[in-house]
Structures are given as C-alpha cells and as structure tokens.
Amino acid sequence: MRKEKTLVIIGDGMADEPLEELGGRTPLEAAATPAMDSLAREGFTGLVRNVPTGMEPGSDVAIMSILGYDPSVFYTGRGPLEALSMGIRPADDETVFRCNFVSLIDDLLVDYSAGHITTAESAELIAALQDKLGSDRARFHHGVSFRNLLVCKGDFSRTKTYAPHDHMDEPWNRYLPSGPGSEFLVNLIEESMAPLCSHTLNRKRVDAGKKPANSIWPWSGGRLPSIDPYAGKFGLEGVVVSAVDLVQGLGAAAGLAAAKVPGATGMVDTNYEGKVAAAIDSMEKHNFTLIHVEGMDEAGHIGDPELKMEGVRRFDSLVVAPLVEYIRKYDDFLLLLLPDHPTPIRIRTHNCDPVPFVALRPGVRSPASAPAFTEAAARATGISVLRGHTLLESLLNGDLY
C-alpha cells in the first residue's frame, strides 16, 4: 500500500461555456473561488478529456475515467453501477436500468427528475409500482430522489435507450426504447402512467403546483462490470463520499467503501459539512479518499446560471477550502481536483469537451500553474491529457508531475 494520502475532489458538471448574461464568462469564471484559484497558482493545471470519443458524456463514463479505468473497455451501463451501491446483485440473466421518475405534459418530456421529487415521495411511488407491475421479469428498487432502478430478466444488450436529461421539452415518444427487447420496456412505461397519475401523492403534488412523477423512464441498462480493485491496481484503499448511488457504485466496483452522509441530497443545498467530515475521517484512516459534489450539474440541467454559480461558490468555500487546509497537515500527499464533464447552461446537458484539472503535491515545483482555476486558464497552460483514465495513475507515478 502507498504511504502518501491521495484525495480526489470532483465538482460534477462544474465546467461550462461563456454566457452572454455573465458578460461572456463561464459560471466558474464569474463565481468567486479563492480556494481553487490558489490551488491553480500553486499546482499543476491543465485540461483532461474524461469522455472517450464516441461514448455518451455522462458521469458514469467520466468518473470511471477519473478513477483510472478505461470506459471503452470496462463500462457496461449506469444501472449496474448504481445497483452495486444499493447492494443489489442481479442474476447473470438480468439487466439493470436506471429508472427515473419523469414529468410528461401532453407530448413533451418537461422534467427528467419529476421536479426533483423527494426521496420519501419517490420511495412511496416505487413501492406502489412494485406492487402493481413487479413480476418475475421486472423488479423496481428505490434509490435517491428520482434515481431508481429497474431490474429486468433477459438480454437487453442491443436495446437503445435515451438519457431523459438530454431531451427536455422535446416530444417524449421520440425517445422511447427501441430495438431488440424494447417492446417490454415500452409496455412498462405505458403501464406505469395510470397508477402514477392516480396516486394520491401525485394528486397532492399537482394541487401544490409541483410537477407530477407521472411516468417511469428506464435507460442506460447493463450487467455488472468486472474491474480490478484499487488495492491491487494502485495500492490504494479508502472511501468514496457522494450523495448519489452512481458514484458510490463506481467505488464499490473498485473495492472502495461508501460513506453514507445524512442530508446529502445531490443538490446545491446538500450537507457540505457532513461530506467534508466524512472525507476527513477517511483521510485519517485510509490512503485514498474521493469526494463528489453533484449540485452544480443539476443546476446546469435546470439551466440556471445563478444557481450554478452559487453551487460553485459553496463548493469552493465549504468543500475545497477546508479539505485543502486539512490535507496540508500531511508531509506526503496527492490532491487532484476537477469536474467530470461540462454541463453547459446553454444546452442543459453534458458534452464531451475537456475539463480543467489541478494537481498538488507538497515540495514539488509545478511545471504548469495558472492564475485561476477556470476553463480558459487551464487551456492556456498548454497541458492536455487526451485519455482521462491515464491521469490519476500518471500523477501517482510521477510521470506527469
């Protein structure tokens, strides 16, 4: 096992594009970020491409890259990764799909998250669906907020599904599952609508002016991945701190434990203090810690630049600043900070563009610093890592830094 402490800090979807309403600046440029800017001036800064060419630019693919695994080799779908986090072990002949609650109004998909339905509300609706639609071919499992799972018996390897956050305010029937196996999924979607629309909880949501969870949306299905654990691959063991099952599941696949933090919501109002405390506890006990903060990505999907900037400010002051202060107590450490992918306000979904990163090691002079931690400043260093899955290993081995 390695002696140095390794800390990876991920600001999900933090990277963006210049916005006219922000005077031609990105949210990361417009927000006050003294902690990250200080890291950029001291550390090794550049750009990294976490999403391989031809792959969908999701957090599942991008964070698998950040962890050091090539998604083009190891990625099997989002659903099975989240299943690992939830302790679900599907049979060899079963496929696991992420199963969002969504809001459909007339012919449009208006919300990929059913108005960010609460976890308690979602649990009640999933229980109702399992009671009415659950069978030996389909099982519903509750996750966090709108992020649920559907486990289906059968081969869906050639079934095409669509991420709902990519198609907001578009006709939903254009993006129903297609190809072999799709008929079963389409039937489940259609059969979910009546019990959800008539459920008392949804009626109360509508009366309160909230968006109803009036349909399921299965997507990104697959079977369990097989990857080398961190202990053998890197000589690392430790903890993943995240509100979302996806990141916890990626950690579980790598043999890393997950910290369960009360009040961690996956939104800008998450329990920052609790997540930082969990990360510090991990650093005290282990040589690897990853902390992931989701809220900036959700603000990008919503299309709210002010909310995204608030998320960036909170990330900087409530997560980055205290963790940098803490890790400096150690003589030997590696700190890596970066987004996983951009979530531009303009398109309200992810893209494949490279993202800024900064790495810091004590006593090592940086070959490429920057005046601030922004997309443009990172680009100006001329440092570009084209294969994101190589970044962490190169940093650990001293090949880049």
Residue by residue, DSSP assigns 170-210 as EEGGGGS-BSTTHHHHHHHHHHHHHHHHHSHHHHHHHHTTP
Cα separation, 59 vs 283, in Å, equals 24
Distance CA 344, CA 14 (A): 9
Contact between 150 and 77 (Cβ < 8 Å):
no
Confidence band of 338 (pLDDT split at 50, 70, 90): very high
Q: Which domains does the chain have, with CATH numbers?
A: 5-75+226-397 (3.40.720.10), 85-222 (no CATH)
When mean pLDDT is compared across 90-94, 120-124, 149-153, 235-239, the lowest value belongs to 90-94
**Range 152-174 average pLDDT:** 95
Q: Is the pLDDT of residue 365 over 90?
A: no
CA–CA separation, 5 and 396 (whole Å): 10
Q: What is the pLDDT of residues 41-72, one digit of tens each?
A: 999 999 999 999 999 999 999 999 999 999 99
Residue 50 has a pLDDT of 98
At 32, list the tokens.
């006050």
Query: What local confidence, expressed as pLDDT, does residue 192 receive?
Result: 98
pLDDT at 15: 98
Confidence at residue 235, expressed as pLDDT on a 0 to 100 scale: 97
Mean pLDDT, rounded, for 124-149: 96
Q: What is the pLDDT of residue 401?
A: 66
> Does residue 367 register a pLDDT over 90?
no
Q: Is 363 helix (H, G, I), strand (E, B) or coil?
A: coil
pLDDT value of residue 339: 98
Prediction pTM value: 0.89
Whether residue 24 has pLDDT greater than 70: yes
% of the chain at pLDDT higher than 70: 100
From the list 34, 10, 94, the residue with the least C-alpha distance to 339 is: 10
Over range 226-240, report the average pLDDT.
96
Could you read off the pLDDT of 289-305 as tens digits, one per residue?
999 999 999 999 999 99
Section 236-249 average pLDDT: 95
What torsion do the CA atoms of 204, 206, 209, 213 make, to the nearest 10 degrees?
100
pLDDT for residue 316: 98
In this prediction, residue 265 has a pLDDT band, given cuts at 50, 70 and 90, of confident
DSSP for 223-276, please give it: -------HHHHHS--EEEE-SSHHHHHHHHHTT-EEE--TT--SSTTS-HHHHH
Mean pLDDT of the chain: 96
Question: What is the band of 366 on the pLDDT scale with cuts at 50, 70, 90?
Answer: confident
Q: What percent of the chain has pLDDT over 90?
A: 93
Environment class of 158 (CB within 10 Å of its CB; exposed 0-12, middle 13-18, buried 19+): exposed
Answer whether 2's CB lies under 8 Å from 234's CB.
yes
How far is Cα of residue 377 from the mean position of the Cα atoms in its chain? 24
